[in-house]
Chain A
Amino acid sequence: MALPTSSAAEPRTITVALIGNPNTGKSTLFNALAGMQARVGNYAGVTVEKKIGRVRCGETTMRLVDLPGTYSLAPRSPDEMVSVEVLLGRQPDVGRIDAVLCIADASNIERNLFLVSQVLDLGLPTVLVLNMFDVARQREAEIDVPALSQRLGIPVVPTEAHRRVGIDDVRQAIVSASESPAPSRPPLFPRQFYEESAELSRELRGPNGDTVPRYLVERLLLDVNGYIEKWFAAVGAPNLSQKLARARERLAQSGFRVPTGEAKVRYAAIRTLLTGVLRHPAARRATLSDRIDHLLTHRVSGLLVFVAVMFVVFQSIYTWARPFMSWIETGQKLVRSAVQSHMPPGALESLLCDGVIGGVGSVILFLPQIVLLFLFIAVLEDCGYMARAAFLMDRLMSRLGLSGKSFIPLMSSFACAIPGVMATRVIENRRDRMVTMLIAPLMSCSARLPVYLLLIGAFIPATTYVGSWVSLQGLVLLAMSSVGAVVAIPVAWAMKKTIFRSETPPFVMELPTYKIPSLRVVLHRAYERGKAFVTRAGTLIFATAIVVWFAGYFPADHRELNAVLAEIRARQKSGQPTDPAQAAELKRLDERQNTLGSRLIEESFLGRVGHAIEPAVRPLGWDWRIGVGAIASFPAREVIIATLGTIYSLGSDVDENNEGLMDSMRNATRSDGTKVYNVPVALSIMVFFALCAQCAGTLMTIKRETNRWIWPVFTFVYMTALAYIAALLTYQIGIRLG
């Protein structure tokens, strides 16, 4: 297998890992190298995204592995450990790494070289890319690239990835680096450190009795309470913590303190390295970025701009997505009627029209909101504003025990929780990210609005106060839209006290230089997110829609309904009836269809479940019909209106402003003649919908983002329990107050 690579023309495949600090343009470089074709997945058991692209360079094919942006290669969590395992070639689904591509921000080279210094400890062939070289030049910082390359002992390539400048040089440099021996550099730390490390190395064995890579032993010694120590403890290394403590004690006596010594030694070495290589202008002048920053982080102007930006983002996902969503709905109707005109009514036709077309529709219906939100987020991230938004909102969010980075995901969730959950990726801290993700579905999304509008329109009197300024209906709508956010505060608090207990993470955040966002980067990111949603959450949402269709269709006998439908379609085909007798007959058939539809759903699995759970929902003031509506709405809450339309024999083609549906609900009675609905019942239903996790899309997105099934299940259970209890309290208190 291992043939000597004597001839340069021989085709071969190499694996290259791409690593760098956040805000260096790493994903831009990845896309510039690998194009749009990247395979995206997850590493087993962690939330880290696995992204592998293919790059051709002459006869060589590169597998480019994108690692998450990081400031340090000292793993503190299983997620951070993945990068180390990949680099060491210990990640089985990636394999051996032939070279490392390390990207640094040329305009912020000093701090970026800290990670480079750690990467060089790995002893792998490495190429350093100095990206944003144009920004450095604008700031009149001069970098002597050949001298830097010579001192580091690795190739250094200046690039402007957003303009694709220098990309070919990067390709060439990687190929030649992978063919050359790994660079060697003089030891950085005191001699005692390497002696202690060698001593530890002799005693340590990996899980299979294998020797442990030198890099892991060094990190074990350097990182107090780091993840590698926990990892070795789990493998079963006896007396490890005592051995480490003694070794660190000896190092401290020799003048090298752990853990604080590492950064001091590396930064001192970087300073020496850059002397004569990096030349700054004598006095640092205030740049345009500094002046923009002053305006955008100012107490008054900063907040005004922030509110304006948030308003535009929110409006866009709430309002601008509407026309696209109604086009999708219209398209769905067109396809459905096209199928109906070519197929006789029956189970297969219903599966296609109501199950498949409805299921596909419910997946792509979310796309306008997802794409629009991510267009905005990509613009805000790429221009550098995202970090400022977190800076401005941090104090407010820290009162909830979160950080400023949770603000935008939660605010987005008021339009739609799916992009909100996806936007939590900006939160590096796992605990904060998980809590934000799990409370995001409590925010009142746009799909809840039709439910509120229907019930408020039907049951809340149109009383007004203070002249005609404040209406009771408006107040109820406001209360319903805020109940989720209010409940989220104690929920977040409880989660941080129980399942996500850990020390408060540091909120040390880089505020990157402002720059004009690149259109290509922005469009690509929005496209990537939309595609990820459709391919990975979409299939599961679709499957849920099919399951609910099945439960609502079987095991009832559809023969009469099919006959009626065939009759209606035959008559419709022959054009509008001119004869009043024919028109009356068509109307009679329509009514028959709706009556049958109502009866069939009652006979279906769904209807039976509705009847079965009636004792459980009776304390909420509900009858079995509302129970069926609530169950049918678990894939997507907006389905309740169509379901109620079917149940009340009006057909499924009704909307929240349908007067007929409102009247049917107002007049609905129980077997004893009492009215089903009154104000407490309406409030109880609305509170239930406000708090319940009735959205397969959100749950599947949580599954995708966390890479575990437990979290969507947990979200579903806690939200449903919360919704039930709150609806129960609302109804019981409501009827007692009259």
Chain B
Amino acid sequence: METLDQLPAGERATIVDVAGEDGVAVRLLEMGLTEGEEIEVVGFAPLGDPIEFQVRGYRISLRANEARRLSVKRLGP
């Protein structure tokens, strides 16, 4: 399954799972990145990391190694 860090800018996807039960996973869930939510890749920082996303109507920045925790399913254009 693809993870969130692999998506190109502009891509929309549905969150399938958040891996792990540690502090990082809990923080992602608290910020509303839960199963079934739709998420969009807005863009990348100049050195390719971190990545900006749109979820639940707001914008959030995640580092690639955090985005990797989320497995996603592309929604297509």
Contact = CB atoms under 8 A, between A and B. Distances in A.
A111 B66 CA distance: 19
A391 B61 contact: yes
Interface string B24-39: 1111111110110000
Contact of A506 (B24, B47, B57, B58): B24
Contacts, number: 122
A264 B31 contact: no
A338 interface: no
A259 interface: yes
A72 to B, nearest CB: 5
A327 interface: no
Contacts of B50: 391, 394-395, 404, 507, 509
Contacts of B24: 506, 508
B43 A294 contact: yes
Nearest to A111: B32
Query: Chain A contact residues (Cβ within 8 angstroms of B): what range?
Result: 35 or more
Given A260-B18, A507-B62, A395 B46 contact: yes
A431 to B, nearest CB: 13
Contacts of A510: 31, 58-61
A391 B42 CA distance: 13
A307 to B, nearest CB: 11
Interface string A647-673: 000000000000000000000000000
Interface in A302-348: 302-303
B34 A508 contact: no
Given A108-B58, A264-B29, A398-B63, A392 B23 contact: no
A130 to B, nearest CB: 14
Interface residues of B, number: 33
Interface in A240-281: 257, 259-260, 262-264, 267, 280
A114 interface: yes
Contacts of A505: 23
Contacts of A225: 23
Given A507-B63, A508-B66, A293 B42 contact: yes
Nearest to B67: A508
Interface string A161-198: 00000000000000000000000000000000000000
Contacts of B35: 264
A303 B46 contact: yes
A111 B61 contact: no
A219 to B, nearest CB: 12
A298 B43 contact: yes
Interface in B42-58: 42-50, 52, 56-58
Contacts of B48: 395
A394 B21 contact: no
Contacts of A57: none
A71 interface: yes
A306 to B, nearest CB: 9
A510 B28 CA distance: 11
Contacts of A398: 49, 63
A723 to B, nearest CB: 34
Contacts of B49: 394-395, 398
Contact of A297 (B30, B52, B58): B52
Interface in A91-145: 107-108, 110-111, 114
A507 B23 CA distance: 11
A507 B49 CA distance: 11
Contact of B31 (A224, A293, A396, A508): A508
Contact of A509 (B18, B26, B34, B61): B61
Nearest to B51: A391
Interface in B1-34: 18, 21, 23-32, 34
A510 B56 CA distance: 12
A511 interface: yes
B65 to A, nearest CB: 9
B58 A299 contact: no
A571 interface: no
A394 B45 contact: yes
A436 to B, nearest CB: 18
A281 to B, nearest CB: 11
10 contacts: A110-B57, A260-B26, A263-B29, A267-B32, A280-B57, A391-B61, A392-B46, A394-B45, A394-B50, A506-B63
Given A297-B42, A394-B49, A511-B61, 18 more contacts: A108-B58, A111-B31, A259-B21, A264-B35, A299-B44, A390-B61, A391-B52, A392-B45, A392-B46, A395-B47, A395-B50, A503-B23, A505-B23, A508-B24, A508-B62, A510-B31, A510-B59, A510-B60
The 7 closest A-B pairs by CB, nearest first: A263-B29, A395-B47, A511-B59, A506-B24, A299-B46, A108-B58, A509-B61
